[in-house]
């Protein structure tokens, strides 16, 4: 295949386990198959591809299972939950892509890399954890958990119960960067940075796992920057970015400069926990020298690359 551009594609965890679904293996695999068709299309066209997936719903399920078996099975740390879901979702992506390869008679390759991301223990996020994860607890159960594990932070969530919150520190770099580059150079689709990577901190001359959750779009941005990708593509539930979203004045944006994106951010146009981290990830990539970031939905991926859909964010020259 003639080598084209290098694309880093970030896929949300909710694309793999959709809202309202039970989360059965069959449901998740069917969702993955739907995601992977357009990705294999790009591979057949010669694009070099790195996939970064979310894992929020899957980690949540692991924590629910742990709570149900709390009397008999020791709880898993958050970094181990991240590692488990990297294996789980990497396997599902590999199986789906191989099945599509076989159906199309494509001699292709895909490999998942268990990816660690370095974070700073002194990141302010550790002093003010805000990321909710796992099940809702009654106040009685929350107090019992707090007694069992004083390190846990639990907060009441809008009358729905108590929930654990963890830090979401800024990712600094991925440890397996050279492995990803080597596989990419050998024409593999590479799955890397799943769920934002497994957060680790440097202590002396070794790494230690950290109880935290890293934003997968920010990690995708770092991978795109470090591997000098031509485009960072962030897939979400809408085909374009909107301003005044949900209002009568709502309008889509097909192209915006980094300066325009910052203005909209400062105006509060992009909600935290939704579009805001995607815009911030795009800006970080572009300000580090990236050429173009694209935000769109999986079913409009091809059209977004041809300029017929999606939102393109570009760096002024």
d(CA 36, CA 206): 37
Catalytic one of 55, 82, 131, 195: 131
Q: What is the pLDDT of residue 3?
A: 60
> pLDDT at position 215, please?
94
pLDDT of residue 271: 85
CA-nearest of 181, 183, 184 to 3 is 184
| pLDDT value of position 289 | 94
Task: Enumerate residue ranges in the chain where pLDDT < 70.
Answer: 1-3
Query: Among residues 16, 37, 36, which one has the least CA distance to residue 89?
Result: 16
Instruction: Check if the beta carbon of residue 119 is closer than 8 Å to that of residue 168.
Output: no
**What pLDDT is attached to residue 153?**
85
Prediction pTM value: 0.91
pLDDT score for 74: 86
Query: What confidence score (pLDDT) does residue 16 get?
Result: 83
Across the beta sheet with 116-118, the strand order is 173-174, 116-118, 198-203, 206-209
Is there a catalytic annotation at residue 22? no
Catalytic residue among 134, 194, 231, 278: 278
Q: Is the dihedral of CA 94, 12, 237, 266 positive or negative?
A: negative
Looking at residue 19, the DSSP 8-state letter turns out to be T
Catalytic residue check, 216 = yes
**Token match 């770092």: residue?**
222
Catalytic residue among 12, 55, 90, 216: 216
User: 278 catalytic, yes or no?
Assistant: yes
**What residues contact residue 294 under an 8 Å CB cut-off, 6+ apart?**
231, 232, 233, 234, 304, 305, 310, 311, 312, 313
Provide the pLDDT for residue 1: 46
């Amino acid at each position: 295949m003639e080598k084209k551009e290098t694309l880093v594609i970030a896929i949300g965890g909710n694309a793999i386990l959709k809202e309202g679904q039970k989360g059965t293996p069959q449901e998740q695999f069917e969702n993955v198959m739907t995601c992977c068709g357009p990705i294999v299309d790009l591979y057949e066209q010669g694009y070099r591809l790195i996939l970064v997936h979310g894992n929020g719903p899957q980690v949540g399920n692991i924590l629910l299972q742990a709570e149900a078996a709390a009397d008999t099975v020791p709880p898993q740390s958050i970094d181990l939950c991240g590692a488990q879901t990297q294996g789980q979702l990497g396997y599902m992506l590999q199986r789906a892509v191989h099945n599509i390869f076989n159906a199309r008679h494509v001699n292709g390759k895909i490999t998942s890399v268990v990816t660690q991301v370095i974070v700073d223990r002194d990141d302010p996020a550790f002093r003010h954890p805000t990321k909710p994860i796992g099940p809702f607890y009654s106040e009685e159960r929350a107090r019992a958990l707090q007694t069992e594990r004083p390190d846990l932070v639990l907060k009441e969530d809008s009358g729905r119960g108590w929930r654990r919150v963890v830090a979401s520190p800024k990712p600094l770099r991925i440890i397996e960067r050279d492995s990803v580059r080597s596989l990419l150079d050998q024409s593999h689709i590479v799955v890397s940075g799943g769920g934002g990577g497994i957060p680790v901190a440097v202590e002396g001359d070794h790494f230690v796992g950290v109880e935290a959750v890293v934003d997968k779009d920010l990690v995708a941005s770092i991978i795109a920057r470090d591997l000098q990708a031509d485009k960072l593509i962030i897939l979400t539930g809408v085909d374009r970015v909107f301003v005044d979203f949900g209002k009568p004045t709502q309008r889509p944006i097909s192209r915006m400069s980094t300066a325009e994106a910052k203005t909209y951010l400062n105006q509060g146009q992009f909600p935290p926990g939704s579009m805001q981290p995607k815009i911030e990830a795009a800006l970080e990539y572009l300000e580090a020298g990236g050429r173009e970031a694209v935000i769109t939905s999986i079913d409009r991926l091809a059209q977004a690359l041809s300029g017929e859909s999606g939102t393109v964010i570009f760096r002024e020259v």
